[in-house]
């Protein structure tokens, strides 16, 4: 046996290799309120309930109470009524999956069910289509604003359509789709409409209170039948909690599951999971109760100030611009002009060297390569430092010049059929990308500079990129 202290010391040493989750230096994946004591509250509440099992709400009524409280809080914030029903899930992806599943199950009469998605919809909906045998119909968004095109969305709906989706806002560009127009078109055809407010649901209502012109996007909009909001994003709760709301309980019925046909307990599930830890639920419940509306309003005020300061700074920065006109707390930074003379992938590496993580996003339709920033309350106060480091990173990237993928390699990639790749071709490409055998271990598996890898991935079509990165993942996950 190892002492508990030793084990925790070992864990701390492992965590030291991770990106920092606090301090505002990691501008994707993590959400930091910057408030002292909030982590400890979440951890304490998590510990109190993590052994309890949401599988049976009659055995653990505390979890039932807390889940109903979270659903009620989300409904209050997002235009719910007395009829609103919901479920607490493990995260945004699970909430989106369940919205699709419920819609498919609600239309068992449709033999070839389809969902209509703006091309900017989160990949979780593609996963849902893949898992549940539903066809995903992708509708290009406006080429300049990156908002869903309501007329094109309406035209894409047909007798197969069981669900239409809009984002509030989209992850990649931070813009809110025209929910009202899309919802009206869906309602007219008797089609369900899901609003993916996974990332915006807990901050947009507060931004509106602060005077930001936030278009109506929630259950108060006629025709919206469900909405998702992740508590582990802008509700600043520990990871593992999202809420899916339905306009009424009948719409939820399709993602409930029961099986009495085996010798064990009758399995009754509201979500994908069966055994469900009470930990994330209790942690979220505690954080919500502690912060309250006034706490979230303050956090939103700080976040908004940080977003504006960063966006203004980028506008002044020679060579970079903000893509589109973001409605929320997410920014996508692209180069100015086609021939910028530097590479954003290099800028990301330079920022990493200066202690900041910004997330590269590949080109898609009219959206060029860009750097994603998820701005949170913890970014307030360090905007000037961020902008100074960004300016220095652009200068360094200019100095280095754009990353070039050799013409030969580019031709080789263009000729590949992602569905018929051999193990040797995979190994060759991974090696060319610098993603060869790493022998497992997570820490230190990646080279310091990702620009050459990203440049190579950028010339690969999306399908090939998927195959390559899954192969890489399969190499990482080896004991
Ligand atoms: C984060 C996100 C999701 C997926 O949520 P996970 O919690 O990562 O599973 C879905 N939609 C949007 C818009 C998101 O930002």
Among 368, 385, 400, the domain boundary falls at 400
238 and 119 share one domain: yes
Which ligand 1 atom sits nearest the alpha carbon of residue 170?
13
Ligand 1 mean position, distance from CA 42 (Å): 21
Among 365, 384, 400, the domain boundary falls at 400
The structure's pTM equals 0.96
- The answer to whether residue 228 is domain-embedded is yes
201 and 343 share one domain: no
194 and 133 share one domain: yes
Among 333, 367, 400, the domain boundary falls at 400
Whole-number pLDDT of residue 129 = 98
Ligand 1 mean position, distance from CA 122 (Å): 7
- The answer to whether residue 19 is domain-embedded is no
Pocket of ligand 1 (CB under 6 A): 91-93, 96, 122, 124, 167, 171, 196, 198-199, 230, 242
Which of 28, 91, 165 to probe ligand 1 with, by most ligand atoms within 8 A of CB? 91
- The answer to whether residue 89 is domain-embedded is yes
274 and 359 share one domain: no
Whole-number pLDDT of residue 244 = 99
- The answer to whether residue 136 is domain-embedded is yes
441 and 468 share one domain: yes
Which ligand 1 atom sits nearest the alpha carbon of residue 232?
7
- Domain with 51, as residue range(s), is 43-288
124 and 254 share one domain: yes
Whole-number pLDDT of residue 444 = 45
Q: What is the pLDDT along the chain (479 residues), one digit of tens a residue?
A: 999 999 999 999 999 999 999 999 999 999 999 999 999 999 999 999 999 999 999 999 999 999 999 999 999 999 999 999 999 999 999 999 999 999 999 999 999 999 999 999 999 999 999 999 999 999 999 999 999 999 999 999 999 999 999 999 999 999 999 999 999 999 999 999 999 999 999 999 999 999 999 999 999 999 999 999 999 999 999 999 999 999 999 999 999 999 999 999 999 999 999 999 999 999 999 999 999 999 999 999 999 999 999 999 999 999 999 999 999 999 999 999 767 899 999 999 999 999 999 999 999 999 999 999 999 999 999 999 999 999 999 999 999 999 988 888 888 888 888 888 888 888 888 777 777 665 444 444 678 889 989 999 999 999 999 998 998 898 899 99
Ligand 1 mean position, distance from CA 92 (Å): 4
299 and 261 share one domain: no
262 and 142 share one domain: yes
Which ligand 1 atom sits nearest the alpha carbon of residue 93?
9
Which ligand 1 atom sits nearest the alpha carbon of residue 91?
7
Alpha carbon nearest to ligand 1 atom 15, residue: 199
Which ligand 1 atom sits nearest the alpha carbon of residue 167?
13
- The answer to whether residue 34 is domain-embedded is no
Whole-number pLDDT of residue 443 = 40
Whole-number pLDDT of residue 437 = 63
Which of 100, 174, 198 to probe ligand 1 with, by most ligand atoms within 8 A of CB? 198
Alpha carbon nearest to ligand 1 atom 5, residue: 92
Ligand 1 mean position, distance from CA 63 (Å): 24
Which of 122, 328, 331 to probe ligand 1 with, by most ligand atoms within 8 A of CB? 122
Alpha carbon nearest to ligand 1 atom 8, residue: 92
299 and 378 share one domain: yes
3-state SS, one letter per residue, for the chain = CCCHHHHHHHHHHHHCCCCCCCCCCECCCCCCCCCCCHHHHHHHHHHHHCCCECCCCCCCHHHHHHHHHHHHHHHHHCCCCCCCEEEEECCHHHHHHHHHHHHHHHCCCCCCCEEEEECCCCCHHHHHHHHHCCEEEEECCCCCCCCCCHHHHHHHCCCCEEEEEEECCCCCCCCCCCHHHHHHHHHHCCCEEEEECCCCCCCHHHHHHCCCCCCCCCCCCCCCCEEEEECCCCCCCCCCCEEEEECCHHHHHHHCEEECCCCCCCEEECCCCCCCEHHHHHHHHHHHHHHHHHHHHHHHHHHHHHHHHHHHHHHHCCCEEECCCCCCCEEEEEECCCCCCCCHHHHHHHHHHCCCECEEECCECCECCEEEEECCHHHCCCHHHHHHHHHHHHHHHHHHCCCCCCHHHHHHHHCCCHHHCCHHHHHHHHHHCCCCCCCCCCCCCCCCCCHHHHHHHHHCCHHHHHHHHHHHHHHHCCC
- The answer to whether residue 17 is domain-embedded is no
Domain count, the chain: 3
Q: Read off the CATH number of the domain in which 376 is found.
A: 3.90.1150.10
Which of 124, 231, 375 to probe ligand 1 with, by most ligand atoms within 8 A of CB? 124
Ligand 1 mean position, distance from CA 35 (Å): 23
- The answer to whether residue 4 is domain-embedded is no
104 and 244 share one domain: yes
281 and 294 share one domain: no
Q: Read off the CATH number of the domain in which 130 is found.
A: 3.40.640.10
Whole-number pLDDT of residue 442 = 43
Ligand 1 mean position, distance from CA 98 (Å): 13
197 and 314 share one domain: no
Alpha carbon nearest to ligand 1 atom 10, residue: 92
- The answer to whether residue 23 is domain-embedded is no
Which ligand 1 atom sits nearest the alpha carbon of residue 96?
10
Which of 28, 90, 93, 242 to probe ligand 1 with, by most ligand atoms within 8 A of CB? 93
């Amino acid at each position: 046996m190892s002492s508990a202290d030793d084990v925790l010391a070992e864990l701390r040493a492992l965590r030291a290799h991770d990106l920092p989750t606090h301090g505002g230096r990691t501008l994707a994946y993590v959400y930091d309120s910057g408030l002292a004591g909030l982590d400890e509250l979440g951890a304490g509440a998590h510990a109190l309930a993590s052994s309890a099992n949401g599988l049976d709400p009659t055995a653990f009524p505390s979890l039932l109470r807390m889940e109903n409280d979270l659903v009620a809080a989300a409904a209050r914030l997002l235009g719910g009524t007395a009829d609103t029903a919901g479920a607490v899930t493990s995260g945004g992806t699970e909430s989106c999956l369940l919205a699709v599943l419920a819609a498919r199950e609600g239309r068992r009469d449709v033999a070839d069910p389809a969902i209509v998605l703006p091309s900017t919809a989160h990949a979780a909906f593609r996963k849902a289509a893949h898992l549940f045998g539903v066809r995903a119909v992708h509708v290009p968004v406006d080429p300049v604003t990156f908002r869903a095109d309501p007329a094109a969305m309406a035209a894409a709906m047909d007798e197969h359509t069981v669900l239409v989706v809009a984002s509030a806002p989209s992850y990649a560009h931070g813009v809110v789709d025209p929910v009202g127009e899309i919802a009206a078109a869906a309602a007219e055809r008797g089609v369900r409409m899901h609003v993916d407010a996974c990332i915006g649901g807990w901050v947009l209502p507060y931004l509106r209170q602060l005077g930001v012109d936030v278009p109506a996007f929630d259950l108060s909009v006629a025709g919206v039948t469900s909405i998702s909001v992740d508590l582990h994003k802008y509700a600043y709760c520990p990871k593992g909690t999202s809420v899916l709301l339905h306009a009424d309980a009948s719409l939820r019925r399709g993602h409930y599951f029961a099986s009495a046909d085996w010798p064990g307990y009758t399995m009754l599930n509201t979500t994908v999971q069966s055994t469900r830890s009470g930990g994330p639920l209790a942690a979220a419940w505690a954080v919500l109760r502690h912060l309250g509306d006034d706490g979230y309003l303050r956090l939103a005020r700080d976040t908004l100030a940080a977003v504006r300061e960063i966006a203004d700074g980028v506008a002044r920065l020679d060579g970079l611009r903000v893509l589109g006109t973001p409605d929320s707390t997410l920014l996508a930074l692209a180069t100015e002009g086609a021939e910028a003379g530097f590479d954003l992938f290099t800028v990301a590496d330079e920022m990493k060297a200066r202690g900041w993580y910004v997330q590269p996003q590949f080109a898609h339709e009219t959206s060029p390569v860009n750097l994603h920033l998820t701005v949170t309350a913890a970014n307030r106060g360090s905007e000037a430092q961020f902008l100074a480091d960004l300016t220095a990173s652009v200068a360094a990237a200019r100095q280095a010049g754009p990353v070039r993928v050799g013409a030969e390699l580019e031709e080789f990639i263009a000729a590949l059929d992602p569905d018929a790749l051999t193990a040797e071709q995979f190994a060759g490409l991974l090696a060319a990308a610098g993603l060869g055998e790493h022998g497992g271990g997570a820490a230190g598996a990646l080279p310091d500079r990702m620009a050459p890898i990203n440049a190579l991935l950028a010339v690969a079509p999306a399908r090939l990129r998927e195959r390559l990165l899954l192969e890489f993942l399969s190499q990482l996950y080896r004991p």
